[in-house]
Amino acid sequence: MSALRINVVLFGIGNVGSTLINQVVESQKFFLEKKNIDLRFPIITNSTLAFFEKDGVKNQWEANFAQSAIPFRIEDIIEYTKELQLENLIAVDATASDELVKNYIPLVQNGFDIVAANKKANTLHTEFYKELRRNLKKYDKTFLYETNVGAGLPVVQTINDLHFSGEKITKIRGVFSGSLSYIFNRFSKEDLPFSKILADAEKLGLTEPDSREDLSGNDVARKLLILAREIENQFEFSDVQISSLLLPNLNEKNSKAEYAVNRQLFDKPFQIAKITQADNHVLRYVGEFDVAEKKLEAKLISAPQSSALGQLKGADNLIEIYTESYGEIPIVIQGAGAGKQVTARGVLTDILKIAEKIKVREAVWFN
């Protein structure tokens, strides 16, 4: 039986997108042998240019992109796939773009399944969230976004499986940010100023390009909102109570230059928070959703050193899921919560899940 060809249209060739292409190119033979799936990238784009290659990009894709990419609109991409009668289409969003998200519904209506590392679609207002899912149902398409929370960790899937098996989830709590995990894990153990550890996190590429996005708590709040909606709660982003780590005199209002120069202003308040804790406690920045109270919070807490949260290392994420059946003992998911390799692998896992679904669909039609 001939291999099932899957046509992946990739939006975004930054860290995650380019790593994804390289992972697919390296494993192409493996997917053919093990799964009888032939993954191709007939179109890859950055924010303004698209490279069209109907047989799928090869090893030297970067050079080809630089030479042959042209300006594009989403309509051009849809038209191209129709002209070439490309089937089994998956749009992969490896951007942080607000604009691209607005095109998810037209893509679904034109035959695309969607895989997103981009969190925006799942944190916009509820109306868009519902409208997208109405269209997915109507056109029998799939939208997967496991990497929205915890990079390559199976958090979204686990929560979804529990909820739709009738399990009552009572609380979700955890360290959802790789950058804040790294910062507070080191700050708890080492006698170094907060600003020095923050600078190290930036150098390692663990934070957003502007680390105020991490320190604001917005990223943690978005991930918490995604999980709350996953178990059918209709919250908006504004419902999350966010305790920002930024200071009244050092926050989003400062210019980037002022922020860079005045980092040492963080040192004193965080040092005070550290030394005024109870003995054998450590600082952790957590997201917490109390289901009964319908309360969503992103906040700094002091956790016992002996607890699962207290023992975190590196830039790991740790998510605790409390349910009625499991009682006081949570299900714990822990592991690397950031990094281009794990995130790209998570996106690839979602692509392969959709490919398997398409295979089943085709088998039903064939018979």
The dihedrals phi and psi of 51, each to the nearest 5 degrees, come to -115, 120
Q: Tell me the pLDDT band of 366, cut-offs 50, 70 and 90.
A: low
Note the pTM of the prediction, 2 decimals: 0.93
Query: Any idea which residues carry the catalytic annotation?
Result: 223
Q: What is the pLDDT of residue 367?
A: 54
- Residue ranges of alpha helices (H) inside 253-298 are 256-261, 267-275
Give pLDDT tens digits for 293-310: 999 999 999 999 999 999
**Higher-confidence residue: 206 or 293?**
293
Q: Please name the residue that has the structure tokens 């895989």.
A: 115
Give me the pLDDT at residue 364, please: 67
Q: If you average pLDDT over residues 221-232, what whole number do you get?
A: 97
pLDDT at 339: 81
Q: What is the pLDDT of residues 259-273, one digit of tens each?
A: 999 999 999 999 999
- If you average pLDDT over every residue of the chain, what do you get? 94
Residues 6+ apart with CB under 8 A from 311: 305
Residues ≥6 apart with Cβ < 8 Å to 364: none
Q: Which amino acid makes up residue 260?
A: A
pLDDT at 292: 94
**Nearest 5 degrees, angle CA 169-CA 172-CA 178?**
150
SS3 64: helix
End-to-end CA distance of the chain: 14
Q: CA 79, CA 319: separation in Å to the nearest integer?
A: 42
The CB density around residue 307, as the number of other CB atoms within 10 Å, is 14
Instruction: Return the residue matching tokens 């009682």.
Output: 327
Task: Report pLDDT digits (tens) over 80-130.
Answer: 999 999 999 999 999 989 999 999 999 999 999 999 999 999 999 999 999
